């Protein structure tokens, strides 16, 4: 009697339920992170989260020239980022004649050591009183391995020639002081999101 030939099944696609959607062309699963921040008596913390909590202080980041590091929780398993990430963020300039833009960079933090995973990308510049825009900023990534315990960071720098600039960071999209749902051309929101692609086996 001939020896039975073992059946070989093709490896199933590794599509994690945590991915918001899959880009088959790039072979990536995209996770959508909300930008938010917490506040305690010890200070503030800026977060990337796939959940939708209410940010402290209405979730608005305001300043002239300041760097905010939005960190995801440490990975509990290895991951690889690749492709192009996108930052979707609302941006408002208050003072007449002020010039402002948003700069963003993706960073890996491993054992306290920060390594760039992209170049620093600048949004379109806004100027004059009451100018506002929803940016969608493409961020070309260097394919980067993340090990267990590593942290994904989105560094955002707000630049303005005056102190009058507002950028939203509330996952629930509540109205800020100037970024409100009543704004038109375009409609604005304080909900800012990072679309991050991770390599998957498809």
pLDDT (0 to 100) of residue 202: 62
DSSP, collapsed to helix, strand or coil, labels residue 62 as strand
pLDDT (tens digit per residue) in 182-197? 887 678 899 999 999 9
Report how far residue 165's alpha carbon sits from residue 157's, in angstroms, rounded to the nearest whole number: 12
pLDDT (0 to 100) of residue 162: 72
pLDDT (0 to 100) of residue 5: 52
Q: Record the pTM.
A: 0.87
pLDDT tier at 149, thresholds 50, 70, 90: very high
pLDDT (tens digit per residue) in 65-117? 789 999 999 999 999 999 999 999 999 888 777 788 899 999 999 999 999 99
**Domain annotation for the chain: domains and CATH numbers:** 32-197 (2.60.120.260)
Cβ-contact 176, 190 below 8 angstroms: yes
Q: How far apart are the first and last CA of the chain?
A: 38
- Mean pLDDT of all residues in 161-175: 86
Report how far residue 121's alpha carbon sits from residue 189's, in angstroms, rounded to the nearest whole number: 21
Tokens of 36: 């938010």
């Amino acid at each position: 009697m001939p020896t039975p030939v073992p059946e070989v099944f093709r490896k199933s696609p590794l599509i994690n339920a945590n991915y918001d959607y899959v880009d088959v062309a790039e072979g990536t699963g995209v996770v959508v992170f909300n930008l938010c921040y917490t506040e305690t008596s010890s200070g503030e913390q800026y977060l990337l989260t796939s959940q939708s909590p209410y940010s402290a202080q209405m979730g608005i980041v305001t300043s002239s020239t300041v760097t905010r590091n939005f960190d995801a929780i440490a990975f509990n398993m290895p991951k690889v980022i690749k492709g192009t990430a996108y930052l979707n963020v609302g941006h408002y300039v208050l003072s007449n004649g002020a010039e402002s833009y948003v700069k963003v960079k993706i960073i890996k933090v491993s054992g306290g050591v920060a390594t760039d995973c992209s170049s620093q990308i600048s949004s379109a510049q806004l100027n004059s009183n009451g100018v506002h825009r929803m940016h969608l900023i493409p961020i070309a990534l260097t394919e980067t391995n993340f090990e267990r315990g590593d942290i994904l960071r989105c560094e955002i720098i707000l630049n303005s020639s005056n102190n009058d600039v507002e950028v939203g960071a509330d996952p629930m999209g509540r109205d800020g002081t100037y970024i409100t749902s009543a704004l038109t051309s375009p409609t604005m929101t304080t909900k800012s999101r990072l679309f991050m692609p991770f390599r998957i086996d498809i």
